[in-house]
Structure 1
Amino acid sequence: MGFVSSLGIKSPSVRATNMPSPPLLLRLYCNKTRLLIGIALLFVSLHVFFGYSIFNLIPWNTSATLDHSNAIPEFLPWVPTRSQADLRIAKATILHDNRKYDTRNLALDDLHTQNFGYTSHILQTPIVRGALNKFLYLQSLIITELQKPVEEQKEWILYHDPAVFIANPHIPLHHFLPPITDVETFKTLSIIATKSESEELNTTVFFVRVSGGSLRILTEAMEMIYNVPDNGDEDEEFGVAATVLQTILSRPHHLEKVIYQSSEWYNSTSSLFYQPYYRTLAHRLLPVHYTQIIPGDNEGSNPMFPDADTVHRFWHVVREARRVLNEAKEKGHTSEQGEWWEMVAEVKEWVEGRAWDTEELERRVRVLREGLGID
């Protein structure tokens, strides 16, 4: 026992003698519990206090917090909604020294440019000879735009031959373009043009998007023109340009990049442009009154042709046709396979080559939608 005591180790009997009594243990336990509870309450109070302070510092939108569908996270940049009139558009044409143009038509063209704040590009000295000139010029304009900051780039360029007359300078160009609110459906669209009654592409007036896809189309067209012999016939240049571009746009990888609108939208005394028929090059040099049109006759009434409902219906039908074709593809029906392959092929051909006939396109889309049970 002495040996154990000398080591500072108490025997069991000694420890039992020095242990506190049961009431003392109970008091110690209660005091320790109160201390732990107090610390916990202190942490909770601090958490609530700082949370409430931060909550008051943030400018919360009450309606947004109640309706989570409208809530916008603070870390996302604010993007204002753009209207159709916000589309950035430029105009381009090519003048040749050996041509004469009516001064009133040029004045109306300038008035149209000023009315809507467009940028106007006029090439007065040909870059090269022949039909290649038009595509090379448009390519140079697109490349120039793509080098600018995105927010400063033009989005579309309207090309028109100088022999095309301005009939109504009060019709905005964005009137003809796809809805700015439906970017996804028409994001691959590069060319908006018209066809003649014989379904030949008209390149006297057409829209081209400022994009890499448009550059590819123009590059392929120029490559094809290089293989076409140039006989110096200026009238033939217009035909060559239209034939080559139509051939390029008919390639499978470009079919969804072009939309054909009604030729009446761009060729009547009520529309923005009037395109008189020239039988020969000599007729292109005649003054305006020989073409039996007085540009700007409807300047007082300023009618919108086509009207807004017609344009909206056009884009709605095209959008619906593309949606139904995508739904049909998901169900296993394409222009090459599936029970409804023939109807799919018809709708696809119509939307890619004859979209201007909205009534017929709408009818075919309706038959395909009902046949496949597409909502």
Structure 2
Amino acid sequence: MKSTSRYHSSMYNYILSGPELQRLFKRKTTKLFFLLIGILATFHATTHGLSLFTPQQLPHDQTADTFSNPGAQRAALNSPPQVGKVHACFGGCNPTYERALKSHEEHSERMGHPMFVLREKILSGLWSKPAYILSIILAELALPAEERLKWLLWNDADIVIMNPNIPLDVFIPPQPEFDYVNLLVTNDRNGLNNGVFLIRVNDWSVKLLSGIISYHFFRPQVELKYTEQSGMEEMIEDAYWRKSVVHVPQFWFNSYPVSVHREGKKDRRPYEYRLGGLQLHFASNRDGKRPERMNSIMDKLEADSSEFAMPLQDTWYESNITAFWNELSAKRAEKGITPPAEGAATNFFPVKNEDGSYGHVDALSEKDNSQEEMHAVTGAAGKSTSL
């Protein structure tokens, strides 16, 4: 990734700027040694498909050991990022997707979000997606708690940043009331669309993603129409996982283009893009013109993005998001629903059914049925949703 190369170049220039090290670098052998180290580090990051921090995100007191410790980089920042961005672009990724990816790089640089990009296939079909996210979460959990990212936002390759002024932290559920929420997803008319979703970095997510990856093996009788997406949908429909999943309005971060015959209308459907929105998902390609549509909007953004790139406070985000969580909280209180008890996400016991399939026993739910959260939320969401 280009941003990885820029990062290492920036670090190299920064080291050279130190007065004491400048004297040291007068020796040709020392220069050659550190240049070789920089090349090897850049090669390692590039071949692993991983892009970490850009020059603007580096604190001024960083030292060379940050090459091998991304967690330390974040901890040294005045305001460590809580959300990382995850993407995939491999197998002859076309120029249109690369161009869209560049818009995400620019957003990442501006907002300070670490960005991870998969450049090599891990599993067949689309199964590399949950596998790669799982690998990042495991790597984050191996860091000290204070150095970890808290959330990851997955983005499919056919998504373009429309407003780079929107920080991803705005989507994090309010604390501590919704600390039990581990996954934010959106639905379209076909059900779950996981082209974009926000997942917490914790052990619950490790189990969920592991289950998704292995779902077609343990439940071969279940048809997965949309492969890993259907696998996720099947998983989160289960009572155990559903307790920690919230379906949020699609237009928050997974909006679709407004159809031609509705462009002049002021009202917007739940799935349609709203001015000031973070990004636009070109999910459909029935007519084969997705690249054309994507390039058209990117041409427009590169020519003049002022219509779309408005400050966060000038958008509808803060008021709409606040209204959504307040309404959800009120609905929960009205139904007398209490948050899952601490540790609920670890009481998971897989069992083999008589037909050979695998299910589970959720010990906590069996002891306390009030933990079963099944209710509808409307209004701010613009669409009925279940939790």
TM-score tier, shorter chain, comes to 0.5 to 0.7
C-alpha separation in 1, matches of 2:325 and 2:118: 32
Give unpaired runs (5+ residues) of structure 1. 1-84, 230-235, 330-340, 362-375
Q: What letter corresponds to residue 298 of structure 1 in structure 2?
A: E
> Percent of counterpart pairs with the same letter?
20
SS at match of 2:376: helix
C-alpha separation in 2, matches of 1:291 and 1:280: 18
CA change 1:348–1:293 in 2 (3 A) is: farther
SS at match of 2:284: coil
Give unpaired runs (5+ residues) of structure 2. 1-78, 256-272, 340-368
SS at match of 1:114: helix
Please say if 1:259 is aligned against 2:246: yes
CA change 1:105–1:297 in 2 (3 A) is: farther
- Structure 1 residue 105, shift from structure 2 partner: 3.0
Please say if 1:201 is aligned against 2:225: no
- Which residue is 2:183 aligned to? 191
1:348 maps to which of 374, 380, 384: 374
CA change 1:349–1:145 in 2 (3 A) is: same
- Which residue is 2:318 aligned to? 308
CA change 1:136–1:107 in 2 (3 A) is: closer
CA change 1:120–1:94 in 2 (3 A) is: same
Q: What letter corresponds to residue 228 of structure 2 in structure 1?
A: A
- Structure 1 residue 188, shift from structure 2 partner: 1.9
- Which residue is 1:274 aligned to? 280
Q: Is the Cα contact below 8 Å between 2:87 and 2:118 reproduced in 1?
A: yes
C-alpha separation in 2, matches of 1:328 and 1:166: 37
C-alpha separation in 2, matches of 1:241 and 1:356: 29
Q: What letter corresponds to residue 164 of structure 1 in structure 2?
A: I
Q: What letter corresponds to residue 310 of structure 1 in structure 2?
A: N
Q: Is the Cα contact below 8 Å between 1:261 and 1:356 reproduced in 2?
A: no
CA change 1:300–1:154 in 2 (3 A) is: closer
**Aligned runs of 1:14-53 on 2, under 5 Å?**
none
- Structure 1 residue 281, shift from structure 2 partner: 9.3
CA change 1:347–1:142 in 2 (3 A) is: closer
- Structure 1 residue 186, shift from structure 2 partner: 1.6
Q: Is the Cα contact below 8 Å between 2:81 and 2:113 reproduced in 1?
A: no
Q: Is the Cα contact below 8 Å between 1:90 and 1:157 reproduced in 2?
A: yes
SS at match of 1:221: helix
C-alpha separation in 1, matches of 2:300 and 2:224: 27
For the pair shown, which has the larger CA radius of gyration, 1 or 2?
A: 1
C-alpha separation in 2, matches of 1:149 and 1:274: 35
- Which residue is 1:145 aligned to? 140
Q: Is the Cα contact below 8 Å between 1:265 and 1:305 reproduced in 2?
A: no
Q: Is the Cα contact below 8 Å between 1:288 and 1:294 reproduced in 2?
A: no
User: Greater shift after overlay, 270-279 or 289-298?
Assistant: 289-298
Whose strand fraction is larger, Structure 1's or Structure 2's? 2
1:165 maps to which of 142, 148, 160: 160
Aligned residues: CA RMSD: 3.6
Q: What letter corresponds to residue 376 of structure 2 in structure 1?
A: W
SS at match of 2:194: strand
Q: What letter corresponds to residue 183 of structure 2 in structure 1?
A: I
Q: What letter corresponds to residue 92 of structure 1 in structure 2?
A: V
1:324 maps to which of 326, 334, 348: 334
CA change 1:292–1:168 in 2 (3 A) is: closer
CA change 1:101–1:317 in 2 (3 A) is: farther
CA change 1:360–1:105 in 2 (3 A) is: closer
Aligned residues: 254
TM-score (norm 2): 0.57
- Which residue is 2:231 aligned to? 244
- Structure 1 residue 289, shift from structure 2 partner: 3.2
- Which residue is 1:298 aligned to? 307
C-alpha separation in 2, matches of 1:93 and 1:226: 25
TM-score (norm 1): 0.59
Please say if 1:289 is aligned against 2:295: yes
